[in-house]
Structure 1
């Protein structure tokens, strides 16, 4: 057919770019809503999370560290938003394509389904049920796309239904309007509204059902026993009560969360088991009933993330309740040469802990309680590991389901495969909390305050200096033991103007934290924390 004929063909009404974008967005919405609902019913991972997990598992360590540095504890939210944004953009593009090339749009939809299936192969979790939401999402998206295209003004009904004998399109790829074409603008609007309502309802149900489907093993139904020998109340003077200073005990809702799980696992404690095996004489499994019947103990422990920058807030302190990990390993009978405890979380993440650190007498726990209540879901319910003196990535497995005794030379944990250190003892560190960085204070008598930590070694001294002057020893608050941080306070007299404050700590071995700044990769940051503030 000639170019003149193509150009003279009338344009079908309602088939604009905006309409195509709307078709694409509604198609994506239908696919995502159906996927969320199916994932909830099957109690598995949604395709969006699966793609995010695959990105996390296969990203370079430097990229993951940069994400934590830029976004902190919001890194997961940013990643999920990015995945959804890509899906929305792709859906809008396919929607526009569908107006002229419906088969190409359907092919693109199936291609995205294949990408979702590939993501499931690439991530560390091997849940076969996770493929079901992907299949349902593609089917729902294809159904929505077909309905929307069929309802558009100017759509030949017979051709969209694939009826035999339908004449091919003429002129442009969009047919001219006619008496038997489409349902009119009103029909498209009604169809779009129906797709939107169905998608929104499915998505909302998918978000709501997990909490409703929780069985008798929910966190709310778990009652913790008392410790065999409860710790006394915290001594007076552990908290200096300085406004702006981090409290000695970090509230659960404020405790930092850094892990690779894009959605918080919600395990049923009645279904939970822990398997202890590998290089042991007596492998065994325990369930929650047995764990809670064991003699539990309490321990005040500060946890620190290896990604914590100098002056960062990826550190927190609380009282934990759990069973000693060393006693658990003694029950199994650790064989000679098993220098690594390779623990695995419910989502497949692995952690390598030096066996010697658990067996050397420190308060390493298989924890079930945090600040007097069952572990919050985001902090590992129903059970997690807590080992003082090591950064979390080599010690603090949440949602733990397996402990395997092995050798560092034989198996590498998740972060060790990405070139992070394999032993990672926590480094002596201190931080200025008051004044706040770039804050303003009254001139004259000024209070400086902050926290310092060196778990298993304790803090012997903290020194501060103002405007690069002489070091001044700060006053230390009381602490219940060596495994927690300590608050410090110092007073100084300042004239109005811009000032700086710097802090350093000396631990119980006599080691003073070095001035040289070192990035967190591969085994923790070092350096003095320095702030600037204004006295008025």
Structure 2
């Protein structure tokens, strides 16, 4: 096919369709290669991760509030849509010269390569998925354009001029002298393109598009299946068989810890329901056999622990509630679990932490960092290098094989998943991931409470109604919860039992509601005597404040 600037061009819709198909094949092949090498080197994942890293704090907070734990799915879907639109535009540009379109696909490949190799955990082959994918996309674009059109057969002339009978073409050697010959058989539409005849072949194009779509889909599926080889399910089963009993077991939960009210969050959050908020588009698959934890920096004796070393240490069980700083007042990003792990303070003492150190810069497998105050970890609370959650090996999405758990601090400064390194340092010398993005370097959890029953907008029977929820003030404990209806008096709720100050606490109260609409608010007081403020503040920079308030209708 003639592809110069003056050559034949397919219709705009055909060119755009060819571009989208080429982009899809490129992504599909890249996913396949990523499955064979490193799943996180997929251009979609690598570019998505780079976008997450560069997302302004306000936008990230909005995404979490709007999409919840589906924010990563929305991001990936958005990237795919943008790629499809740009690929369609490249197809249109390729109408003028196919080389322009292939150059655009090559530029896409470069973007993917840069994103993949610049990841903190990048490997030597991480350039391959984007490289091979871009080449496959460019080849597909050229092939589809060739299939879409061809130079007409030799001896065939342009469409007949005036006076020629339908179905014939006029030929001859002089004016008025000629003979009739059959036109080309019906099929592809024939167009004039300069001195050449161009036949647009819709059938060949659509056949090529169908094949391309099949290749793209097969590449994605095969890539996902191959990436699944790195799934840590079998490794978790092996760890489950070797997981030791705790040297210090947690006390049995008090009989009244769970009020068992329908709709009220259970005292222990099941692992599958525990919230997940992190920056990882692909859950890191860490092999415990090769995992190590390096502790270095401002220490007398740098330490490197293997997973087996960690399991040989005395393990401690502790009930701890975790909270995400992105949680709005009344939000879902809080959960309580029983954790099993080694005391972080003991490991730091063995390393000989220096007196002037005030921050632990912990690093995740995917390069994410968290800055934890040293004094909090060393003050006697159950700060753990956790290996189990609610009686089972850590789920992959919650940090397998090892994560950090520190009571009383929001997760972004305490709860590093897939932890591989701890640098003992100072806040005035190092910064963690979210600090330059506008979040506070130190973030103790604020006293908060939430109404679970009834829900916002519910209709309830008039008369006696149970109002219930949870309150938390980790490492201080909740001493009182009060409820208010329609701006009236505050009444004390009944509190459930708790095993210690590091967990949330259930509460309930019965209230007689008259027919009509009502506004219900709640506030908590912690063990220091502090009552949560009514002042409304957003999550940034160090946690939301205000009363959780709902509206219901009794009738």
TM-score when normalising by structure 1: 0.91
2: distance between equivalents of 1:205 and 1:175? Answer: 43
Instruction: Report the 3-state secondary structure (helix = DSSP H, G, I; strand = E; otherwise coil) of the residue aligned with 1:176.
Output: strand
Per the TM alignment, residue 103 of structure 1 is displaced from its structure 2 partner at its CA by 1.2
Aligned match of 1:34:
29
- CA distances 1:274-318 after superposition (whole Å, capped 9, x unpaired): 111111111121111111122111110000000111111110001
Seen in structure 2, the aligned counterparts of structure 1 residues 294 and 370 have a Cα distance that, compared at 3 Å, is same
Seen in structure 2, the aligned counterparts of structure 1 residues 225 and 210 have a Cα distance that, compared at 3 Å, is farther
Instruction: Report the 3-state secondary structure (helix = DSSP H, G, I; strand = E; otherwise coil) of the residue aligned with 2:289.
Output: coil
From 413, 417, 440, the equivalent of 1:421 is 440
Does 1:454 pair with 2:473?
Answer: yes
- CA distances 1:105-150 after superposition (whole Å, capped 9, x unpaired): 1111112122223334665544443222111111111121122122
How many residues align? The count is 511
2: distance between equivalents of 1:359 and 1:243? Answer: 39
Q: CA RMSD in A?
A: 2.2
- CA distances 1:128-180 after superposition (whole Å, capped 9, x unpaired): 432221111111111211221222233689xxxxxxxxxxxx964895236xx
Aligned match of 1:270:
289
2: distance between equivalents of 1:466 and 1:214? Answer: 50
1: distance between equivalents of 2:275 and 2:410? Answer: 13
Per the TM alignment, residue 185 of structure 1 is displaced from its structure 2 partner at its CA by 4.2
In terms of fraction of residues, the more strand-rich structure is: 2
1: distance between equivalents of 2:534 and 2:54? Answer: 34
Aligned match of 1:92:
88
Does the 8 Å CA contact 2:459/2:553 hold for their aligned counterparts?
yes
Gaps of 5+ in 1: 1-5, 158-169
Aligned match of 2:219:
202
Aligned match of 2:104:
108
| Residues 62-461 of structure 1 aligned to structure 2 (within 5 Å) | 62-120=58-116, 123-154=119-150, 172=193, 176-177=197-198, 184-214=201-231, 218-223=235-240, 224-461=243-480
The 10-residue stretch of structure 1 (392-401 or 94-103) with the greater mean CA deviation from structure 2: 94-103
Seen in structure 2, the aligned counterparts of structure 1 residues 215 and 382 have a Cα distance that, compared at 3 Å, is closer
Aligned match of 1:500:
519
1: distance between equivalents of 2:460 and 2:275? Answer: 28
Does the 8 Å CA contact 1:217/1:271 hold for their aligned counterparts?
no
Aligned match of 1:52:
48
Aligned match of 1:534:
553
Gaps of 5+ in 2: 1-5, 154-190
Per the TM alignment, residue 75 of structure 1 is displaced from its structure 2 partner at its CA by 1.4
Does the 8 Å CA contact 2:359/2:371 hold for their aligned counterparts?
yes
From 479, 484, 487, the equivalent of 2:503 is 484
The 10-residue stretch of structure 1 (271-280 or 484-493) with the greater mean CA deviation from structure 2: 271-280
Instruction: Report the 3-state secondary structure (helix = DSSP H, G, I; strand = E; otherwise coil) of the residue aligned with 1:362.
Output: coil
Per the TM alignment, residue 49 of structure 1 is displaced from its structure 2 partner at its CA by 1.1
2: distance between equivalents of 1:196 and 1:340? Answer: 51
Instruction: Report the 3-state secondary structure (helix = DSSP H, G, I; strand = E; otherwise coil) of the residue aligned with 2:517.
Output: strand
